[in-house]
Structure 1
Amino acid sequence: MALKIDAESFVKRCEFAELYDLPVLEKACVKFMSLNRKDFLFSNEWKEFKIANPTLAHKMLEMLAVDG
């Protein structure tokens, strides 16, 4: 599942990782963000994710800043 992250599946994967406490999947989401940050952080998917999941979005950004 961690290998299949793209902009469209990002929200579902992050929510799943948070709900079931899956650190490997969570790190894969952060890695996706890191590898695609120039495009992804300006995408509609990220904008919608921030609105729907502000706490989780903040956590992901913190992980990106630390682990980036």
Structure 2
Amino acid sequence: MVELKEPLATLWRGKDAFAEVKKLNGEVFRELETRRTLRFELSGKSYFLKWHKGTTLKEIIKNLLSLRM
């Protein structure tokens, strides 16, 4: 279950929040293979979105070797 705060709770009621997030447009601050950071506006306010798409094998190996897992 996903819990959203206002105004997203009202705006996306009955909708798939993850699908709605994918539709957001805004100013991209950083875009890498597995993540994206962007600023978007909603109801006159600015918000930041940090979207993570999983991880890479390289990242897993790096974390294992540095004893982070």
Query: What TM bracket, shorter-length normalisation?
Result: under 0.3
TM-score, normalised by the number of residues in structure 1: 0.27
> Between Structure 1 and Structure 2, whose CA radius of gyration is higher?
2
If each structure's strand is expressed as a fraction of its own residues, which one has the higher value?
2
Normalised TM-score (structure 2): 0.26
